[in-house]
Amino acid sequence: MLSMLQDRLCTDQDLLMMQEGTTMRKVRSKSWKKLRHFRLQNDGMTVWHMRQPGGSAKPSFSISDVETVRKGHDSELLRSLAEDFPLEQGFTVVFHGRRSNLDVVASSAEEAQVWMQGLQLLVDLVTSMDQQERLDQWLSDWFQRGDKNQDGRMSFQEVQRLLHLMNVEMDQDYAFSLFQAADTSQSGTLEGEEFVQFYKALTKRTEVQELFENFSADGQKLTLLEFVDFLREDQKEVGHAPDLALELIDRYEPSASGKLRHVLSMDGFLNYLCSRDGAIFNPDCLPIYQDMTRPLSHYFINSSHNTYLVGDQLCGQSSVEGYIRALKRGCRCVEVDVWDGPNGEPIVYHGHTLTSRILFKDVLAAVAQYAFQTSDYPVILSLENHCSWEQQQSMARHLTEILGEQLLSTALDTPLPTELPSPEDLRGKILVKGKKLTLEEELEDKEEAESVLETGQGSELETNCHSEIEAPQNRKGKKAALCPSFCPAVCCQSEAQAAVCDPGAPPVSEQKSKPILCPDLSALVVYLQSVSFHSFTHSKENYHFYEMSSFSESKARNLIKDAGNEFVQHNAWQLSRVYPSGLRTDSSNYNPQELWNAGCQMVAMNMQTAGLEMDICDGLFHQNGGCGYVLKPEFLRDTRSSFHPERPISPLKAQTLLVQVISGQQLPKVNENKEKSIVDPLVKVEIFGVRADTTRQETSYVENNGFNPYWGQTLCFRVLVPELAMVRFVVKDYNWKSRHDFIGQYTLPWTCMQQGYRHIHLLSRDGTSLHPASIFVYICILEGVES
């Protein structure tokens, strides 16, 4: 692959022009548009920029950080500048994770085409690299960084500097002996293959060598029977070990003769341990493996809060990019707060704040385009409608025209349904969640709307923040709690009439008029009808399976504490959506685990904010094909379940987890700007589940070694409800002065862990790969809890 890349760099006309460099305009906003000279480096893997040709160059981005390249017509920012620049001259570089897009305008459509085609070619090449090719590329990148004078050779002085960059503290004499051994040409410098040999000597895995020799009779190879013994005894691959052994030898043994003889060399053994098959996440859980024919209420659903925001809740930017990113990461429930906009066009923003505004129809266009790129399973539009009658009609028209056949506008043709349809039934469909009129209400609202249109009154009511949460009457005539008037925390206004306000909220005077809901919009709500929650008894007696309620995080927590078992039973037949507190103006997140413990399906997250909470969310939804739906444990799907998340008892089967943290590999620096700073890594293992299971333990730290630290320490965890447990491995840089600094993490469900000797491939704070950074562990799960 690397030779293919080098061939392309020498022959592909687009890449040749990119290596020469192009002056283009970098665009951040309508007022920030500056010329920059961009150039693809000779390695074909990095793009640098300078203010002008011949000036001081700075790295702009690495090809491995790029997810895709979009043309100018697909850029929200460039479309807003269409009067200044032809869209054909623009393109957008989209990065993995939460890094902001890079919008660029070339001086001609032809130049833009060169860069779009060239970048996409390089992205495709990087994406298709196998494990060894990625390692080769990583080595090539380090060689480029270490070769300070760019002469294609590395002196010992350059190697010493490189070791500090790579997080290695090494005795100078020992480093020099490795350098001399690798310098087979005796030139006093290391070139290509010599540097590779130096790296191999540097990264010799003695702990893996010892493990290999424990099962190898001659210490040179593992025979088929020896490898089968290893898979059965240590890796717990009981049922199909012989067939699996043959597959793994064929996949990871580098020598052709070894494959023919069905033996595994040390290199092949290490290749297997570092591969997806040797990773901690069970590969059987990566594709869609769960039953997708159960009712929607039986699944955890990947859900987003205020999806349009890419920043904070008060002054942040609203952008269709929020929807694109959420949908592409597997989110299946997105939120749309809709308000009256100019020129009769509804707009989306966080009402009564300084957040920017985007058109409702632009949001729908993005949803239509990206809804099913990652997953075929249904997308839910959580619609918070604050619009007047006329603009509600516009909303209904846009929903119907833009979403077309994707929009579910009528119930499925099933006789007398008693439960929600399944994700499988709703494949490729977009569902609207919102308020729905009864037949009587529809007639009343039509008359009231006609009266309002005739008199011109009611506009204030129709657009104020309480238009959807003003005390609706339930079927027994009792009024629901009112939401407080606007407060600096921007409380729960956006959660519609389905919200139940927190106790202690400041009282407001009851409004006399009822908001008007347009029948055209009401008709598009089929299975997800928003209703106010009063009590679990009231829901059983008055509500249907196609109705659902929303809860603030504090309300949901109180219900779990006071009536946890009833909440579990409720969530077995009806959907619940939980949203973050209005006090989280910085777009911080709560821990979704405690809401999942009660079976709440739609636990809405501020997906723009990285951190522990999103690690847990991403960890749960990584399984099952990343489709956005995860089947709940059986005891959370039973309307007569006895499970209480605060007091879990038998017949749940407790388990004990033993984690031997063995070693780490190629850990990144905490501060890239400090060449000589080297991390002191420690590993923290955290369990998140029911309250009794939530705990953490950590190893001691290893001083001055981020390259190949060794711990060899065992941690023990006893868990009552493993079906709900999430396991998070965090590597931190020890700092006695303050909280330890984050290096990398990996989070996965307990039920998706593989036992045995496993590598854990670390992710950044943003959830992107830190390849080849990993930790090597031994995992053992025992039934029962030791006293």
Give pLDDT tens digits for 100-154.
Answer: 999 999 999 999 999 999 999 999 998 888 877 777 777 777 777 777 776 778 8
- pLDDT single digits (tens) 444-468: 766 766 666 566 554 433 333 333 3
Rg (CA), the chain: 29
Q: Which residue has the tokens 């009282």?
A: 507
- pLDDT single digits (tens) 500-539: 334 333 343 444 455 689 999 999 999 999 999 999 999 9
Q: Once rounded to an integer, what is the mean pLDDT over residues 356-385?
A: 97
Q: Among 2.30.42.10, 2.60.40.150, 2.60.40.10, 3.40.50.740, name the CATH number for the domain at 655-783.
A: 2.60.40.150
Contact 662, 778 (CB under 8 A): yes
Q: Is 745 left (phi over 0), alpha (psi -120 to 50) or beta?
A: beta
- What confidence tier does 174 reach under pLDDT thresholds 50, 70, 90? confident
Burial grade of 450 (CB within 10 A; 0-12, 13-18, 19 or more): exposed
pLDDT at 202: 81
Residue type present at position 281 = F
Cα–Cα distances in angstroms (integers) from residue 354 to residues 29, 106, 308, 359, 360, in the given order: 17, 33, 14, 16, 18
Which residues, listed in sequence order, are joined to residue 713 by a DSSP beta bridge?
661
Q: Is the Cα torsion angle 536, 295, 302, 568 positive or negative in sign?
A: positive
Higher-confidence residue of 748 and 157: namely 748
CATH class of the domain at 4-129: mainly beta
Whether CATH 3.90.226.10 fits 206-278: no
- What confidence tier does 10 reach under pLDDT thresholds 50, 70, 90? confident
Q: Please choose, from the candidates 217, 234, 334, the residue with its C-alpha nearest in 3D space to the C-alpha of residue 278.
A: 234
Q: Is residue 232's pLDDT more than 50? A: yes
Residues that are catalytic = 305, 350
Angle between helices 172-182 and 192-202 (to 10 degrees): 140
Contact 44, 11 (CB under 8 A): no
Q: Which helix (H) or strand (E) holds 322?
A: helix 320-328
Q: Say how many CA atoms lie within 13 Å of 628 toward its Cβ.
A: 28
For 40-59, b/e burial (b = at least 16 CB within 10 A) is bbebbbbbebbeeeeeeeee
Percent of the chain scored above 70 by pLDDT? 89
- What confidence tier does 470 reach under pLDDT thresholds 50, 70, 90? very low
pTM of the model: 0.86
Q: Which residue has the tokens 């702009």?
A: 60
Percent of the chain scored above 90 by pLDDT? 66
Of the listed ranges 186-195, 257-266, 517-526, the least confidently predicted one is: 186-195
Residue type present at position 44 = G
Coil, helix or strand for 31?
coil
Higher-confidence residue of 2 and 56: namely 56
pLDDT at 498: 37
Residue type present at position 511 = Q
- What confidence tier does 667 reach under pLDDT thresholds 50, 70, 90? very high
**What is the separation of C-alpha 708 from the centre of its chain, rounded to a whole number of angstroms?**
28
Which residues, listed in sequence order, are joined to residue 718 by a DSSP beta bridge?
656
Q: Evaluate whether 206-278 and 655-783 have a shared fold.
A: no
Residue type present at position 574 = Q
Instruction: For residues 683 and 774, give the distance between their C-alpha atoms in angstroms, rounded to a whole number.
Output: 11
Contact 313, 587 (CB under 8 A): yes
pLDDT at 777: 98
- pLDDT single digits (tens) 619-653: 999 999 999 999 999 999 999 999 999 998 755 68
Q: Please choose, from the candidates 196, 224, 212, 211, the residue with its C-alpha nearest in 3D space to the C-alpha of residue 266.
A: 212
Q: What is the CATH number of domain 296-412+421-437+515-636?
A: 3.20.20.190
pLDDT at 466: 34
Of the listed ranges 441-445, 556-560, 638-642, the least confidently predicted one is: 441-445
Q: What are phi and psi of 417, to 5 degrees?
A: -65, 145
Residue type present at position 722 = P
406 DSSP assignment: G
Cα–Cα distances in angstroms (integers) from residue 278 to residues 237, 252, 393, 756, 776, in the given order: 12, 11, 55, 9, 10
pLDDT at 71: 93
Q: Peptide bond preceding 772: is omega within 30 degrees of 0, i.e. cis?
A: yes
Looking at mean pLDDT, say which of 45-49, 78-82, 145-149, 520-524 comes out highest. 520-524
pLDDT at 678: 86
Instruction: For residues 68 and 14, give the distance between their C-alpha atoms in angstroms, rounded to a whole number.
Output: 17
pLDDT at 468: 34
Structure tokens at 683: 């590993």
Mean of the per-residue pLDDT values of the chain: 87
DSSP class per residue in 473-487: B-TTSPBPPPPPPP-
Instruction: For residues 472 and 463, give the distance between their C-alpha atoms in angstroms, rounded to a whole number.
Output: 17
Q: Once rounded to an integer, what is the mean pLDDT over residues 699-727?
A: 95
Residue length of the chain: 787
pLDDT at 159: 83
pLDDT at 43: 81
Kindly list the strands in the beta sheet with 46-50, ordered across the sheet, starting from the edge strand earlier in the chain: 58-62, 46-50, 33-40, 22-27, 102-105, 90-95, 66-71
Instruction: For residues 575 and 550, give the distance between their C-alpha atoms in angstroms, rounded to a whole number.
Output: 9
- pLDDT single digits (tens) 297-347: 999 999 999 999 998 898 888 999 999 999 999 999 999 999 999 999 999
Q: Where are the domains of the chain?
A: 4-129, 132-203, 206-278, 296-412+421-437+515-636, 655-783
Higher-confidence residue of 637 and 191: namely 637
pLDDT at 653: 86
- pLDDT single digits (tens) 676-692: 678 999 999 999 999 99
Instruction: For residues 745 and 764, give the distance between their C-alpha atoms in angstroms, rounded to a whole number.
Output: 7
Angle between helices 224-233 and 241-252 (to 10 degrees): 120
Q: Once rounded to an integer, what is the mean pLDDT over residues 240-245?
A: 93
Whether CATH 1.10.238.10 fits 132-203: yes
Q: Is residue 210's pLDDT more than 60? A: yes
Q: Which residue has the tokens 């890079």?
A: 102
Structure tokens at 502: 């927190």
Instruction: For residues 542 and 536, give the distance between their C-alpha atoms in angstroms, rounded to a whole number.
Output: 10
pLDDT at 132: 76
Residues 6+ apart with CB under 8 A from 748: 280, 281, 619, 622, 623, 726, 727
Instruction: For residues 580 and 611, give the distance between their C-alpha atoms in angstroms, rounded to a whole number.
Output: 15
Contact 720, 692 (CB under 8 A): yes
